[in-house]
Structure 1
Amino acid sequence: MQERAATTRRAVLEAAAHLFDEKGYAGTSISDISALSGRTSGAIYFHYTSKENLARAVIEEHFATWPGLIGGVAAQPPLEQLVLLSFTVARAFRDDVVVRAGARLWSERKAIDAVLPVPFVGWIDTVAGLLQQGRADGDLAVGVEPRQVAHVVVCAFFGLHTVSDALDGRRQIEAHLTSLWLLLLPSLQAHPDPVALLTRVRARLADPTGTEPWPAPSQAAVPG
């Protein structure tokens, strides 16, 4: 019985995520979710009680994605962890419908009558922690203040996503992110070598499908 209930909850949540991502909160109805999930409206209300609670569940699932991704890059040097994490998160936004839906729902939060998790604060803390580790290891440039720079990096990263989503549906996000790090890393590294760091990250994220339009970083692209 519990397994069946969990299966139903997941099917409803994933169907809702697809619709919220495609049509937004206001454009999605419980009837739409019922039709896509193959579950009755009564079953949806039984498990989630309202569309607001279902939206909140999608956003909470979005947030639940991040600890696993952060843990997955922990074996690298701090600045390399930061860059590798940024590409891993970028792929989640591009490829994971629940992550995309959670981001869209939070941007439409004023229409949702529910208390929602606060975004970005955890990311600022994570980036600041990595920069502090980089300072302790001697890899961070003199004068870089971790907390202040973490705020800037998070703003730049999520701003990049907003623009890429609007202009190319995030299809070129890794190429755009490469350009961003070629701009930022010379100011962050104690001994600047952004191309070498990005090449190492690129090797770890090699795309087996060959579909990602991510050019190898070129020294010529590094701002002077």
Structure 2
Amino acid sequence: MQERAGATRQSLLETAARLFHERGFAGTSISDIGNASGLTSGAIYFHFTNKDALARAIVEAHFATWPELIERQIPAGAPALAGLVRLSFAVARAYRDDPVVRGGARLWGERYAIDATLPTPFVDWIAAAHALLDRARAEGDLADRVDPAAAARSIIHAFFGMHTVSDALSGRADIENDLTDLWRLLLPALLADPLRTEDTLTRALACTTDGPGVARKICADAE
């Protein structure tokens, strides 16, 4: 029974997230969500007290996806800068393809219409980028002129600004090409040896860790 309730709740989150992304918070009603999910309003209220609580749960689920993604994309021992590039592509694909991530992002953008306290975005991404740049310095890959803290903030600013523009122009259909172009601008400034830009980008793009142990081994071997 508990397992079924959990599956129903997850399916409800995904359906609501898709509608919130398409129509916005104000443009989506509990009735709309019920019609799309096949649930009665009473069944929805069993899981969430109101639409604001449902929106908050989607934003929280959006944030909850990132720690596992970071762990999966940056295996222990993998070069940090290539890992940062690889992680950025995984995040970009999630913003393009994952309904909860897409819905959570739009809801946070409409946070002033939601009567709930939502998590603060970006700070964890800045911290993660900072940690990876510190690792890159210890590995000898980061240029001496680069301040990891300042660079981390600038990378996250550029990354999420690119998302906003890509979403407006193509619905993020071109996000991976846009991100490749962004890294071709950033990596020469970050690397101790700017001539390794294409090599770093190629390794990151060729290495996937979306699967279990076999994919991790391929990733480690490629590095």
What is residue 197 of structure 1 aligned with on the other side? 200
The answer to whether the 8 A contact 1:30-1:51 is kept is yes
Residues of 2 paired with 1:203 and 1:132: CA distance? 24
Residues of 1 paired with 2:122 and 2:205: CA distance? 25
- The alignment status of 1:12 with 2:15, answered yes or no, reads no
Q: How many residues align?
A: 206
What are the ranges of 5 or more consecutive residues in structure 1 without an aligned counterpart? Answer: 207-224
What is residue 176 of structure 1 aligned with on the other side? 178
What are the ranges of 5 or more consecutive residues in structure 2 without an aligned counterpart? Answer: 210-223
What is the percent sequence identity of the aligned residues? 60
Moved runs in structure 1, 4+ residues, more than 6 A?
none
User: Alignment partner of 1:55: what SS?
Assistant: helix
Residues of 1 paired with 2:2 and 2:208: CA distance? 37
Of the three residues 115, 127, 130, the one matched with 1:113 is: 115
User: Alignment partner of 2:73: what SS?
Assistant: coil
Which digits, 9 at most, give the CA deviation of each residue in 1:23-74, with x for residues without a partner?
0100000000000111110111111101000001100110111011100122
Residues of 1 paired with 2:14 and 2:173: CA distance? 22
Give the TM-score normalised by the residue count of structure 1: 0.90
Amino acid at match of 1:86: S
Residues of 2 paired with 1:144 and 1:19: CA distance? 42
Residues of 2 paired with 1:77 and 1:4: CA distance? 41
What is residue 62 of structure 1 aligned with on the other side? 62
Give the TM-score normalised by the residue count of structure 2: 0.90
Q: Following TM superposition, by how much is the alpha carbon of 1:205 offset from its aligned partner in structure 2, in angstroms?
A: 4.7
The answer to whether the 8 A contact 2:94-2:101 is kept is yes
In structure 2, relative to structure 1, the CA distance for the partners of 1:205 and 1:166 (3 Å cut) is farther
Identify, as 1 or 2, the structure richer in helix: 2
The answer to whether the 8 A contact 1:8-1:39 is kept is no
Residues of 1 paired with 2:6 and 2:81: CA distance? 39
Residues of 2 paired with 1:52 and 1:118: CA distance? 17
Which digits, 9 at most, give the CA deviation of each residue in 1:145-192, with x for residues without a partner?
111110000000000000000000101101110110000101100011
What is residue 78 of structure 1 aligned with on the other side? 80
Residues of 2 paired with 1:16 and 1:95: CA distance? 15
